Structure 1
Amino acid sequence: MIEVDIHTKRITADTRIFVARPGAKYRFFEPFVERNFVGPDLPGLDFPEFNNLQDFELDARVKRAVAFRRYFLRGENDVQEPPPDLASYIDTPDDQAFSQFLRVVRAYFENMKAGDLVIVPPLNFRGQAQIGELTAGPSVTKTLGVAVYPGMPLTGRNVRWLASMEKAKLPSQTLDALQKPSPLFLLPRDAWAAIFRRAYGSYVTDAEYGSRFEITSEHYKTVDDFNIQAFFNFVAANTDRVTKGRKDLLDFQRGAFSAQGVAPELYTNVNSPGGLSLKSAVVTPIVIAVMLTLAVTVGPDAFAAAVDGTITFGNSQAPAGDACVAEVGSQVVTQLKLLGYDLWADACQHARTAATNTGISTTVDIKN
């Protein structure tokens, strides 16, 4: 029995991607990463348990946190220590810093939901920015003690780190926005696909399908690039034929040059190591990821499994009954059956040669 986990994240329409600066001058980057934490650079918010931010004196807590932040940053010799009691901050005048931080606090503890993604960049442009997913709703908070705010920990959210990428290679919209001192901002929608692919490998939204292929070898040659893209085209052309109900599938050589108009968009960042990414309005990128992984890990024997009905499909990244599983499984089994052993074995040889030379891999998991 061959068990295929397509490992494709289903991203809901309300999922968003935020960029969170880890404190002034990125000073909390390491503790944020080590403790799976994101939150505003505000000491001593000291939130009680809550369901809604309006349930307690939010303005007073933020004003007190801003006052202590200013006190700790300037040093106790220059500024008198602020009063610790909340009553001292009720109905006091607002200032620019308070207004900005109040918006940030509302974003963290009211607007950012479980499943939203957060990018936390380091100071160094050659450092690795972390990409994570918020694990619980906005009222589920955690604290982080930091040396610069003795006795007054930060309050934030728990995040599960999924991936990393060099800060300099973040979408240009991120780098442009980081030139401003904004502690938190929403990444523009046109940059989301690149982050989804990096975070999840394969994903599906209401509008598109995407997959990512990691290249681990330091020696990526032109012939390897040809074999990989030829395999992509081979599967894309045959996916289109199966969709249209045709049974005359193409062999590897013809399929490699017959995907005009049906091949997914290809994004490359092969800097040895690096990656290749596919995006399409149809399921083709996910089918390609599964077929490539089957070719490399199972090989020609996948044909017999398809014929015998001993290949199953699931998705660990989606609830049971996910529609993508059925669509991908049907495509893969149909293609294997119609190709036959010889044509599939030939395609496997090309895929395995490319994998040996480049280390290409996907997030698809196969148990055989």
Structure 2
Amino acid sequence: MIRIDIHTRQISPETKVFVARPGGKYRFFELFVERNFVGPDLPGLALPHFADLSEVEDLEERVKRSYDTRKYIFRGERDIDPPVEELEYYRDRPNNRAISQLLGVVRAYFRTMKAGDLVIVPPAAFRGRAMIGELTGLPNEVASVRPVEYDGKPLDGRNVVWRADIEKNKLPAQTLDALQKPSPLFLVTREAWPSIFRRAYGSYSMPNEYAARFEITSDGFQTVDDFRIQAFFSFVTKNTELVADGAGRVLPLKDAAFASSRIPPELYTNVNSPGGLSLKSSIITPIVISVMLTLAIVVGPEAYAQAEAGMILFGNSQAPANDACTLEVSQQVITQLQLLGYDRWAEACEVARAASERTGISTSVGVEN
């Protein structure tokens, strides 16, 4: 029996991607990473319990007090009075531009940002590893950390689970440009979201969008390696189209590799020691390629006999049971293996395994043989 976990995350169309600066001068990066936390750099905000942030009637006063607290702690050689603790003191004090910005940041963290949204936390170093986290819990589920710099005054924020990391200098160009400004929190441009989704989850699906990432772990990557990988990609792409059309036939690798397709997946590549390849399409093709490649490498030609005997089970640990994506992928994979037959599938496996030995190409798909 072969058990396949297609490991494809279902992403809501409402999911967004943010960048959260871990304090001024990135000073809390290690603390945020260690504590699975993101939040505004506002010591002693001390939010009360709330169902909706609008219930916190003294929110502005709390932000002003936190702003003064931070300014006092990092006063350097300046002569500044200690912050007043009583919130009433701040009630009639006018806002400035910094306070207005921080109010917007607090409202984003504790009202706008939903469970499932992704947050990129960048380090100070340009070649450091930025962390990609997924927000957990509702906006009113406030988490806290206590940086030593703030003498026991906590920072309020949200819990995250870290999904991946990425070299800071490989973040989308628009994101790097935005980081030149001191914005504590900002929304990543929508065009860059798919690349972050692929990095976080490997494979994902959302309405009319399917994507998969293929990791390359070898330090060397030559043209022959790229040819083998692209031949396998084209092989599965063409045969996925034929199966979807009900053609009742598929093509061997040598023919399918050079056959044109109506909807070829978009390819994104960065294989610099190490790196990866990514595919994105409006149809299921990238996920099917990911499963077929993993089967070819891990199981090999014997997968044909298992498909014939009905001995391949499909699941998806990243989605509810019996999700439509898993069903469509399983039908495609089983049909392609059955139509290919042992010899033609073995030929494709040889190419996939040669590419794997040279490049270490891998996917997020799990296979238990």
TMscore range, shorter length: over 0.9
- Give the deviation of 1:76 after TM superposition: 8.1
CA contact (8 A) 2:241 2:261 kept: no
Distance in 2, matches of 1:240 and 1:248, equals: 11
Amino acid across the alignment from 1:28:
F
CA displacement 1:294-319 (0-9 Å, x = unmatched)? 00001111111111111011111011
2: CA distance, partners of 1:256 / 1:220: 20
Structure 1 equivalent of residue 17 of structure 2: 17
Aligned residue runs from structure 1 range 131-150, under 5 A: 131-150=132-151
Measured in 1, the distance between the counterparts of 2:298 and 2:20 equals 39
Query: In the TM superposition, what whole-angstrom CA distance separates every residue of 1:316-359 from its partner, at most 9, and x where no partner exists?
Result: 10112210000000000000000001100110011011111111
Structure 2 residue aligned with 1:336 = 337
1:297 aligns with 2:298: yes
Residues 67-116 of structure 1: per-residue CA shift (max 9 Å, x gap): 11111111486100011122222232212111110000000011001000
User: Matched residues in 2 for 1:87 and 1:361: separation?
Assistant: 59
Mapping 1:58-137, distance limit 5 Å: 58-75=59-76, 78-137=79-138
| Amino acid corresponding to residue 335 of structure 2 in structure 1 | T
Tell me what 2:259 maps to.
258
Shift of residue 261, structure 1, vs aligned partner: 3.6
**2: CA distance between counterparts of 1:320 and 1:30?**
37
Q: Is the 8 A contact 2:120 2:130 kept in 1?
A: yes
Alignment TM-score, normalising by the size of structure 1: 0.98
Q: Deviations over 1:139-159 (max 9, x none)?
A: 111111112211211111101
Aligned partner of 1:210 in structure 2 is 211
Pairing 1:315-334 to 2, within 5 Å after superposition: 315-334=316-335
Q: Secondary structure at the match of 1:277?
A: strand
Q: Which string of whole-angstrom CA distances, capped at 9 and with x for unpartnered residues, describes residues 162-192 of structure 1?
A: 1111111101110111111111001111110
Number of equivalent positions: 368
Query: What is the distance in 2 between the residues matched to 1:66 and 1:235?
Result: 57
CA deviation after TM superposition for structure 1 residue 248, in Å: 2.3
* 2:237 matched residue in structure 1: 236
Rounded Cα–Cα distance in structure 2 between residues aligned with 1:76 and 1:269 = 47
The residue that corresponds to 2:26 in the other structure is 26
Paired with 2:29 and 2:150, the residues of 1 have a C-alpha distance of: 15
CA distance in 1, matches of 2:356, 2:266: 21
Cα separation, 1, equivalents of 2:113 and 2:273: 36
Say which SS state the counterpart of residue 19 (structure 1) adopts: strand
| Deviation beyond 3 Å, 4+ runs, structure 1 | 259-262
Where does structure 1 lack aligned partners over 5 or more consecutive residues? none
- Contact between 1:121 and 1:167, CA under 8 Å: does it hold in 2? yes
Distance 1:91 1:82 in 2: 15
TM-score (norm 2): 0.98
Amino acid at match of 1:82: P
CA distance in 2, matches of 1:263, 1:155: 46
* Structure 1 position 173 matched with structure 2 position 179: no
Amino acid at match of 2:48: P
Code of the aligned partner of 1:292: L
Amino acid at match of 1:358: T
Question: Counterpart of 2:35?
Answer: 35
Return the alpha-carbon distance in structure 2 between the equivalents of residues 78 and 310 of structure 1: 76
Q: More deviation in 40-49 or 287-296?
A: 40-49
* Separation in 2, partners of 1:280, 1:171: 20
Give the letter for the 2:47 counterpart: F
How far off is 1:260 after superposition? 3.9
Identify the residue that residue 159 of structure 2 maps to in structure 1. 158
Contact 1:236 1:259 in 2 (8 A): no
Q: Which moved more, 1:84-93 or 1:101-110?
A: 84-93
Pairwise CA distance, 1:207: 2.5
Encode CA deviations 1:255-308: one digit per residue, 9 max, x unaligned: 111144432111100002100000001000000000000000011111111111
CA RMSD of aligned residues (A): 1.1
Equivalent residue, structure 1, for 2:3: 3
Contact 1:29/1:121 (<8 A) preserved = yes
CA contact (8 A) 2:304 2:338 kept: yes
Identity rate of aligned residues, in percent? 61
Measure the CA separation in 2 of the matches of 1:225 and 1:320: 36
User: After the TM superposition, which of the residue ranges 138-147 and 210-219 deviates more from structure 2?
Assistant: 138-147
CA contact (8 A) 2:105 2:184 kept: yes
Equivalence for 2:250: 249
